[in-house]
Amino acid sequence: MQLTTSALVLSALKYGDTSLIVKAYTASDGLKSYLLKGVLASKKGKLKAAYFQPLTQLELTVVHKNKGTLERIKEVKLLHPYYTIHSDIVKNSLVLFLAEILANSIQGEEKDTALYDYLEKALLWLDQNDEVANFHLLFMINLSRYFGFYPEPPEGISNYFDLAEGEFITTPSLNPLLEKEALHHFKTLLGINFDGLNTIKIPKTQRKSLVQSLVLYFELHLHGFRIPISLAVLNAVFD
């Protein structure tokens, strides 16, 4: 079936000498993988490898056979061109990391309009704003809502957040916990929007610790989730 859909690039893996396998999250059908034959060798073709950088927002004309095999892209164009993401080292490191988070989190070929809209708007915000040091923290916390493990706001006094149970508690458990400064910053991020990030200051060491805890949170709640390789690069950029 041929159709046109918006899509977010999650990864592009070289296949052979001249081809790419592109994994994308589509508005029409969820997660899809495409084989782009000869795209690295062709200079005159409609499909250019430059289109398939992480989290680029595209409009694709595709052929979906929906048989669990690699699909085909017939045409591509930029849907929302980025002006800063791929040229700013901090933003570029963020999208590399978040693309891995999404690739490890989204596992099914299922349409999810709410999730797609969230990703689209969040990435446009990242491209258009400068206060982005804590963007990935809020992005991941918000993302957990779409996978069913968003933290419920605490009722009354809570001294810990249990990462395995996904809940605030008053006394420590044997599970991995957020506490003290990490807990404070975590609570501060709950419920705010991206425009509120400029009011939040998190020291570098605590930001690094919190992102590692959030990665663990995803690992504990999503089957098959893997720690992103790009986490080390992200930590180096923010050192």
Mean pLDDT of the region 216-230: 95
Exposure pattern of 124-141 as b/e (b: 16+ CB <10 Å)?
ebbbeeeebbbbbbbbbb
Q: What is the pLDDT of residue 236?
A: 84
Query: Residue range 85-99: average pLDDT?
Result: 94
Out of 1.10.3720.10, 3.10.25.10, 3.65.10.10, 1.20.1440.120, select the CATH number for domain 89-237: 1.20.1440.120
Q: Could you tell me what percent of the chain has a pLDDT over 70?
A: 100
User: Which residue ranges does the chain devote to CATH 2.40.50.140?
Assistant: 2-78
> In this predicted model, what pLDDT tens digit does every residue of 105-141 receive, in sequence order?
998 878 999 999 999 999 999 999 999 999 999 999 9
Q: What is the pLDDT of residue 239?
A: 66
pLDDT computed for residue 152 by the predictor: 86
Q: Band of the pLDDT at 24, cuts 50, 70, 90? A: very high
Q: Which CATH superfamily is domain 2-78 in?
A: Nucleic acid-binding proteins (2.40.50.140)
- Residues facing 25 on adjacent strands: 8, 31
The strand ranges marked E within the chain are: 2-15, 19-26, 30-36, 57-63, 72-78, 160-162, 167-169, 177-179
| pLDDT (average), residues 210-230 | 95
Task: Name the percent of the chain lying above pLDDT 90.
Answer: 82
- Looking at the chain, which residues constitute the CATH 1.20.1440.120 domain(s)? 89-237
Provide the mean pLDDT of the chain.
Answer: 93
Q: Tens of pLDDT along 40-69?
A: 887 777 788 889 999 999 999 999 988 878
